[in-house]
Structure 1
Amino acid sequence: MNHVYFFTGFPGFISNQLIRELLKRDEAANKIYLLVLPDQMVKAEADIKEIESELDGTKVDFELIIGDITKENLNISAEVIQILHKKITHVFHLAAIYDLAVPEKIAQLVNVVGTKHVNEWVKGISNLKRYTYFSTAYVAGNREGNLYEHELLLPKSFKNHYERTKYDAEVLVEELKSEVPITIIRPGIVKGHSKTGQTIKFDGPYFILNFLDRLSFLPIYPYISSERETVVNLVPVDYIIQATAYLALYKDGVGKTYHLTDPNPCKATEIYELFVGELYKKKPKGHVPMALSQAFLSIRPVRAYLGVEKEALEYFTWQGRFDCTEAQKDLAGSGIICPDFREGVPAMVEFYLKYKNEKRYQIKIR
């Protein structure tokens, strides 16, 4: 049976790369429908042409569908829905707001209401083989200690609206598991490609690089010290893409939730040392208290100058550890393993230095 894919979140970077990986792995794929917002059509058309140029003769039909997950029935006409519901075999829901500083109303609309609409829409597909939902490991919120893939527990609090709305959205998807063949993907903090350093925006760990770059005039680079030593789970995008493509087609992946996280993450201090060493061939000296750093980043002009969202600091004091046993077990034998973060630092920093002054990579600091 031919596989017909349906994607939300195109032309986003992860969906773009995931399509390429799926086409390498799935010989049965012959049609891909892409739900695209009207203002993204030009970019989507250009990205499809680029993907098609890389297919080496493989015949795959792409079709753009103008729609919006925040609207009922994804804002698709009844006639088109009837066609799609008969043809589609695999759905990939990646559309979401990923910004840590996203306002609550926008996060709720896109991440929760949007996922509710996709869920309802998916239930009408007659030949559905898999619904792959892209969540985040940080649905754990402020829970700490060992965090397991089978858990979806309401924490006492969340660090930001992004985490809370992704938790609420995953609850909706989890409830659908009894009706639909679902696989939930929970990535850690996604960074650029482990070999090339390629990414599309400088957020997450790149805030540290922004911080160090903007303060390059300093004679020393002090640690941002905290009483709580923690690990930060940074995962290269190539691992996320390869693992997702494999697990979305893996026959025993139905009904499972996977942590696509680094099984051996670095400590926050080590990450900082690696960045300082790669940028300046020095070691950090001295300490700036975390409370003082948080106070400075509460001042908008300061955080705008430094290129750092204040919400990012919490991830460097939070003491949660993601257990990824199920993902590691099901990926065993596939040849897909999470690259060592340390080995990818040179490529990461090189890419950052090359594009740090291009506005398209820097996110707007609120």
Structure 2
Amino acid sequence: MSTTYFFTGFPGFLAANIVKNIAIQNNEAQFKLLIHPSQMDKADKAVDRLLTDGLLHREQFELLEGDITQPNLGLHEITLESLRDTVNYVFHLAAIYDLAVPKDFAYKVNVIGTGHVNDWVLTLNNLRRYIYFSTAYVSGERKGRVLETELQMGQTFKNHYESTKYEAEVLVQQIRSQVPTTIIRPGVVMGNSQTGATIKFDGPYFAMRFLDKFAAFPIPYVGKGEATLNLVPVDYIVNATSYLAHAEVAENKVYHLTDPSPYPVREAYALICRNLIGKEPSWTVPASFISSALSIPSFRRWTSVEKETIAYFNHPADYDTTQAAKDLEGSGVSCPDFADYIQIAVSFYKEHRHDPDKMIPVR
């Protein structure tokens, strides 16, 4: 009997890559992909791309129109009945990832949506694992060492993305005693370390967009840059998640899929400058000055940089990866060094920086 995987968040970057990875490893697997009505066309094209090498077949993939913000995921009872006995693995990745997202929208998708997925997961009869995608930044404003085993530590948050992902993980942790669960907390996701490929230029790519605007001038460091910048390439997240989702040792554990040896912001920023514009930063501007400037809508839109990004260049949190390192031992999966793939990431950015589909609009 084939294994059946259910995904939310397809055709998003992480979900699409994990589906492809698992499908290549198990070309008899079946995939039930919950697709928001607005994403059906994109999802259909994404499945077509998975079939181009001839190893996979269209009948392995079923697109289910639904919505996690609705009870029963917006699915018909006949579909729910069919899934109840066939689904073996559930990957919940659907969420709002925008750092500038309004609170009500983030809460509806990230918290209420996760509650609905949890309720549905509890009805499944042959579930082997529930894999929930959280974020390392459920730690909020906490400083210092952050453990994988910690969550509710009285922390405050930098934005509604963090706070609602925190509330969502709290809900998932509440059902761990009833459902075999693995929680993944990625750092800031970069493109593929081998190809540079990514579907959008956000996160650390905002630094590249900023540098594009000021390349002709002496380049400043933004703040002291003493904190570390936790960047991880998508292939590490995909390979680690695919392994841990099926590993018995990973049942009912939480993993920081973050860089075990992150670079200080100052060093990471200098590496980006060197590879993107061929020069070093030569002076320092206070982070508060840049943050204030980005509060001006016209300046923010001109630079194409979200104000909320600046907080992640100055926050001194250290994400412990002890549990991830131990349970990935022997799998052949490890996090590449940022210095080894930044040139590839920058080259991809240069090639595609005028692609409107990859340039996240800044309000």
Residue by residue over 1:274-309, the C-alpha shift from the partner in whole angstroms, topping out at 9 and shown as x without a partner, is 111112222111111112111101111111111111
CA distance in structure 1 between the aligned counterparts of 2:254 and 2:239, rounded to whole angstroms: 16
CA distance in structure 2 between the aligned counterparts of 1:6 and 1:57, rounded to whole angstroms: 17
Matched, 1:361 2:358: yes
> What's the TM-score once normalised by structure 2's chain length?
0.97
CA distance in structure 2 between the aligned counterparts of 1:300 and 1:20, rounded to whole angstroms: 39
Q: Is the 8 A contact 1:185 1:258 kept in 2?
A: yes
Paired position in structure 2 for 1:318: 315
Cα shift at 1:180: 0.3
Q: Is the 8 A contact 1:144 1:319 kept in 2?
A: yes
Paired position in structure 2 for 1:254: 251
Residue by residue over 1:107-162, the C-alpha shift from the partner in whole angstroms, topping out at 9 and shown as x without a partner, is 00000000000000010000000000011000000011100101112443101000
Which structure 1 segments of 5+ residues have no match? none
CA distance in structure 2 between the aligned counterparts of 1:312 and 1:155, rounded to whole angstroms: 23
Q: Percent identity?
A: 46
The number of aligned residues is 363
1:332 aligns with one of 323, 329, 334:
329
SS in 2 for 1:98: coil
Q: How does 1:158-237 map to 2 (within 5 A)?
A: 158-218=157-217, 220-226=218-224, 229-237=226-234
Matched, 1:116 2:120: no
Cα shift at 1:58: 6.7
Matched, 1:343 2:340: yes
Q: Is the 8 A contact 1:30 1:59 kept in 2?
A: no
CA distance in structure 2 between the aligned counterparts of 1:134 and 1:317, rounded to whole angstroms: 24
Paired position in structure 2 for 1:281: 278
CA distance in structure 2 between the aligned counterparts of 1:24 and 1:30, rounded to whole angstroms: 9
- The amino acid across from 1:362 in the alignment is M
Q: Is the 8 A contact 1:6 1:88 kept in 2?
A: yes
Q: Is the 8 A contact 2:23 2:56 kept in 1?
A: no
Paired position in structure 1 for 2:296: 299
- The amino acid across from 1:186 in the alignment is R
Paired position in structure 2 for 1:18: 18
Cα shift at 1:24: 2.9
Cα shift at 1:79: 1.3
SS in 1 for 2:32: strand
Structure 1: 4+ residue segments shifted above 6 A = none
Paired position in structure 2 for 1:272: 269
CA distance in structure 2 between the aligned counterparts of 1:98 and 1:58, rounded to whole angstroms: 31
CA gap of 1:178–1:143, structure 2 versus 1, over 3 A, is: same
CA distance in structure 2 between the aligned counterparts of 1:282 and 1:205, rounded to whole angstroms: 18
Q: CA RMSD in A?
A: 1.3
CA distance in structure 2 between the aligned counterparts of 1:280 and 1:350, rounded to whole angstroms: 11
Q: How does 1:8-47 map to 2 (within 5 A)?
A: 8-26=8-26, 29-47=28-46
CA distance in structure 2 between the aligned counterparts of 1:42 and 1:133, rounded to whole angstroms: 25
Q: How does 1:145-156 map to 2 (within 5 A)?
A: 145-156=144-155
CA distance in structure 2 between the aligned counterparts of 1:162 and 1:189, rounded to whole angstroms: 13
CA distance in structure 2 between the aligned counterparts of 1:214 and 1:57, rounded to whole angstroms: 43
CA distance in structure 2 between the aligned counterparts of 1:137 and 1:160, rounded to whole angstroms: 14
Q: Is the 8 A contact 1:32 1:60 kept in 2?
A: no
CA gap of 1:155–1:194, structure 2 versus 1, over 3 A, is: farther
CA gap of 1:18–1:307, structure 2 versus 1, over 3 A, is: same
CA distance in structure 2 between the aligned counterparts of 1:31 and 1:193, rounded to whole angstroms: 25
Residue by residue over 1:158-194, the C-alpha shift from the partner in whole angstroms, topping out at 9 and shown as x without a partner, is 0100000000000000001000000000000001111
Q: Is the 8 A contact 1:214 1:306 kept in 2?
A: yes
CA distance in structure 2 between the aligned counterparts of 1:2 and 1:159, rounded to whole angstroms: 44
Paired position in structure 2 for 1:56: 55
Q: Is the 8 A contact 1:225 1:289 kept in 2?
A: yes
Cα shift at 1:247: 0.3
